[in-house]
Structures are given as C-alpha cells and as structure tokens.
Amino acid sequence: MRLPAFFRKCLVLVALLGLVAGCTTMTPPEQVLAVPATPGKYAAIVVDARTGKQLFEVNSTAQRYPASLTKMMTLYLVFEAMDAGRIARDTQLPVSAHAASQPPTKMRLKPGETIDVDTAIRALAVKSANDVAVVVAEYLGGSEEGFAAAMTAKARQIGMRDTVFRNASGLPDDGQHTTARDMAVLGMALRQRFPHHYHYFSDGDFMFRGKLVRGHNDMLGRVRGVDGIKTGYIRASGFNIVTSYDADGRRLVVVVMGADSARQRNAHAEALLQRALTGSPGNARVVFADQPL
C-alpha cells in the first residue's frame, strides 16, 4: 500500500534526524600529530593535575632514559630533608673530588669548596648542574649510590611504578630508566607536596659568585601559564621536558620525551598543551618527522 505523500515526508524527516543524532555520537575523527622525534625514544603524556585525568598519551608507560629529569627526584629529597630539619637553606655542603669530576653541565666546583643549600637547589633546578647533584647526594645519602637507592624507594612510595634511579644527575647509565607517566606523577607530586618550594622551578636564572647563570627551560616566560618544571638531555634519551601549566583555573602537566632538539621538544610540548586547553576531540595518530603523513 502506498503511503500518502505527507506520511512519506515525515518518515524521511525522522530518518534524517536519526542520522544527525547518530553523527553527534560518532567517535571524533583521528588527528595526525607530526612528532619531531626518533621512534623508540618518543613518549608523551598530558595530565589534568587537579583531577589526575589523562588527557593524552603515546608510549607513556614505555621505558625511557630520564636524563636530567632525574634531578626532579634529587630535589624532591632535598625539599623533604629541609622540611624535616635535616638541612636549612644556609647549610654548607662540601664538594668532593668525585663531585667536582662530573662532566658538564656543571658549576665547576672545586674539591674542598662548599656550596649552600639554596644555591645548590637553584643550580639543580635552573642550570641542571651535575657536580651539584653529586654534592647533594653524598651529603644526604652518604654516597651517590646510597642516595640513588633512596630515590628509587621514594619513587615507589609516590606511585612511580616503572622508575629506577642509579645516580642523582641523570648522566648515562644503562640501568636508569623511567616512563613519561612516572615523570608526570613526579611533577605533580613536587607541587602537591612542596608548594612552598615549588618557586625554584619557575626561575629562569640566578646569580652565582657575581655572575648571572641562565637556565635551559625556554618554555618559561615564552608560553603563558607555564610555571616550570625541568628539562633534560643525553644522547640516549633525546630531548625531554616536564612542563607545568597553571592559569585560568586549569592546571596541567605535559611530558615530552625523545625529541630531536630542544626547540622541537618545546614546540611539541606547547602544541600538546594547547590541544588540551582547547579540548580538541579525537584520537591522535603520531607520525614521526621522517615519515609521510
């Protein structure tokens, strides 16, 4: 039986409305992210630091070398020691021959000298000084090896499941590894546990013996809302960064590991930050710089 024209039009309209409704519930289209990094080194994660919700991730639980992101945990234990009264900002830390012998980047301290805790913190957070990392480790842990064991134990305590520390600086060691997820956990823990010390990560430079020492974190002062936290590089890791954003009621942590250069690392971290802030929908497919889109 042929339906009257009016009813046929109603059925078509209902079908079209159903199609539109179905389209609004479809999975958003995949996004393509061109990543300036080497396969096998790249990992990234974006986390809402207020809720702990993961907003983006690629290879976030794959083992990676932390490089100087290691010093975030070194500083965690320094802040803990300060709050426990074991050291104060003006405590003088002795420099051993082993500490002075560390390769750059460093403050070029000499054996027998001392450095106060406040300056040591700035040297770690801003300059990423390897000699100062050993100075701190030897003072607080008795030896760098003992301090590294304490770092690993603290990592487990705060929820870093896949991290092992072998030294306090992040210099190359095949046994030292972490994940992007664990670095995000550490970045959030530093702010939550030590808000009164967190300002050190926002410093872009500091004075040392009458000279201005500039830092490596070019995201500071360049990207609105970014207030820290740490960069890192060794050849085995590529260029790493943990970035904290705090503005307009949003608080995010972005981790990028394995970029091919500092500039590319920063640009990718900024792109991931903007993606999270704008609420860009859809999954992301990573395409490495030397691969076709």
The domain spanning residue 247 has which CATH number? Answer: 3.40.710.10
Tens of pLDDT, residues 33-49: 767 677 889 999 999 99
The torsion of the CA quartet 125, 99, 163, 175, rounded to 10 degrees, works out to 140
Whole-angstrom Cα distance, residue 59 to residue 232?
Answer: 18
Tens of pLDDT, residues 202-242: 999 999 999 999 998 999 999 999 999 999 999 999 999 99
**Which position has the higher pLDDT, 172 or 21?**
172
Model confidence at 270: pLDDT above 80 = yes
* Domain contains 278: yes
- 68 given a catalytic annotation: yes
- 101 given a catalytic annotation: no
Tens of pLDDT, residues 151-181: 999 999 999 999 999 999 999 999 999 999 9
From the list 41, 60, 96, 128, the catalytic residue is 128
* Domain contains 56: yes
Domain with 180 in it: 29-85+143-288
* Domain contains 179: yes
From the list 41, 60, 71, 96, the catalytic residue is 71
When divided into structural domains, the chain yields a total of: 1
**HSE-CB of 199 using CA atoms within 13 angstroms:** 4
**Which position has the higher pLDDT, 156 or 287?**
156
Please name the helix (run of DSSP H) or strand (run of DSSP E) that holds residue 180, with its range, or none: helix 180-193
- 60 given a catalytic annotation: no
Q: Give this prediction's pTM.
A: 0.86
Give the phi and the psi of residue 242 in degrees, each rounded to 5: -115, 120
* Domain contains 173: yes
From the list 68, 96, 237, 244, the catalytic residue is 68
* Domain contains 122: no
* Domain contains 106: no
* Domain contains 263: yes
Tens of pLDDT, residues 88-145: 999 999 999 999 999 999 999 999 999 999 999 999 999 999 999 999 999 999 999 9
